[in-house]
Amino acid sequence: MRRFLLAVAMSAGLLVSVPALTAAASAETFVPVRLTVWDTEDWTGADEVSMRYLGNDWQMPLNNNQFGVPDAKTFSGSFGIEVLDLDLGNWMDPHDLIGTHTVSAEQKGRGEQSAHFFGHGAHYELRYRVED
């Protein structure tokens, strides 16, 4: 009976560890350095900046020449980023899409990357790295 329980515990451990190893081998980390607002979309004060990626919705009010640092996240393959200025979000005053960008695992080890967004007359810049 004791030997049987040990065998069950070992096979259960194996089932758990195999997918964990597979995920670790293929994961990259998206590391934002800073998201800078060089020119706001709104005319009155700061933009309500929203950066949407990998299920995250990072938000921070930023005025001209201000920046924030969105959270790092792991991924595999590639993923898309949407950067917006949030307004009321209704039909009279919808959110403004400033731009989109695709991050790929192939950018790993290439140092700091830069993406510029120019939608609706604004100018935002995202600098980031892709690491192991």
Residues that bind Ca ion (CB under 5 A): 41-42, 48, 85, 87, 96
Measured from the CB atom, the residue of 11 and 90 that comes closer to Ca ion is 90
Residue 87 Cβ vs Ca ion, minimum distance, rounded to whole Å = 4
Residue 42 Cβ vs Ca ion, minimum distance, rounded to whole Å = 4
Residue 120 Cβ vs Ca ion, minimum distance, rounded to whole Å = 7
Amino acid at site 84: L
What's 108's DSSP letter? Answer: T
Give the distance, in angstroms, between the CA of residue 95 and the centroid of all CA atoms in the same chain: 19
What's 64's DSSP letter? Answer: T
What does the chain come to in residues? Answer: 132
Measured from the CB atom, the residue of 42 and 125 that comes closer to Ca ion is 42
